[in-house]
Amino acid sequence: MNRVLALSLLTLAAAGCGSSAPRASSAQGPSVGPNPIAALVGGPGGQIRIGDSCFTRTNLRIVRGSQIDFESWLSGEFLPMGTAVTVAETAKDDTRWRIRTQDGREFWIVVGYGAGYKDQYQEIQKFLAPQDPRTSFDAGTAGVADGVRFARPVEGMTRAQVLAACGFPPGITDPTNADQWRYPQLGSGWRTHGWARIANQHKVAVEFSGDKVVRVVGYEIE
């Protein structure tokens, strides 16, 4: 009887030790495979971790001074596609990623809100790539290449070229199956036309036929 009791106590002690073992930190990160949606532009994705040196996968717009928002705005300053950065830290259940450029500037990438957000390790791959995305990117004709360079959607772009220029369209899970992408933009002209939104926000529609842009509606050149 005493032997059985002793074995039971040892089993409980071992179970208790196992349950209190520390989990992997954000610096190591969970095991995450490539995001096939992110791979639509700039080549394969892969796990992004604290301390990694990587590159911006697309042009990324900066809002509120130092934030890069998951809504992919078409207004304001932007970090060009292929900018070399280092991941400095994460916060709020890894839904915020602080990056540092080679010249010392720092920005927070917001990939989602709240502790219940479950795809942050896949979503961050839409912003950052482990290799320079420009090495496998076809910028196309001069007009299209200028659109990518200046972060503007233009007719004739492929889906990959729009992603490179403008980032991933907010609210669209699979950009390959949507024939219209909509991005938020702030523009003065919309107020005078009576189409004002909160803080003068409106939506830019990028329309596709197959893989090519056939129309851009509502875009205002800054």
> Of 136, 151, 144, 157, which is closest to residue 38 (Cα–Cα)?
136
pLDDT tens digit sequence for 155-202:
999 999 999 999 999 989 899 999 999 999 987 665 555 544 455 788
Secondary structure tally for the chain: helices H, strands E: 5, 11
Under 8 Å between Cβ of 205 and 181: yes
pLDDT tens digit sequence for 11-55:
333 333 332 332 334 445 667 889 999 999 998 888 999 999 999
Under 8 Å between Cβ of 175 and 181: yes
For tokens 């220029």, the residue is 165
Under 8 Å between Cβ of 159 and 40: yes
Give the separation between CA 164 and CA 167, rounded to whole angstroms: 6
Give the separation between CA 45 and CA 50, rounded to whole angstroms: 16
For the chain, list the domains and their CATH numbers: 38-134 (2.30.30.40), 138-217 (no CATH)
Q: What are phi and psi of 137, to 5 degrees?
A: -115, 135
Task: Go through 36-63 and write b for each residue having 16 or more CB atoms within 10 A of its CB, e for each that does not.
Answer: ebbbbbbbebbbbbbeeebbbbbbbbbb
Beta bridge partners of 216: 206
For tokens 């280092």, the residue is 86
Give the Å distances, CA to CA, from 15 to 9, 12, 21, 64: 10, 5, 10, 48
Give the Å distances, CA to CA, from 206 to 19, 31, 142, 188: 51, 35, 20, 20
Q: Which residue has the higher pLDDT, 93 or 88?
A: 88
pLDDT tens digit sequence for 136-152:
899 989 999 999 999 99
pLDDT tens digit sequence for 95-129:
999 999 999 999 999 997 654 556 899 999 999 99
Give the separation between CA 109 and CA 86, rounded to whole angstroms: 12
Q: Is residue 89 scored above 80 in pLDDT?
A: yes
Q: In this structure, how many other beta carbons lie within 10 angstroms of the beta carbon of residue 12?
A: 10
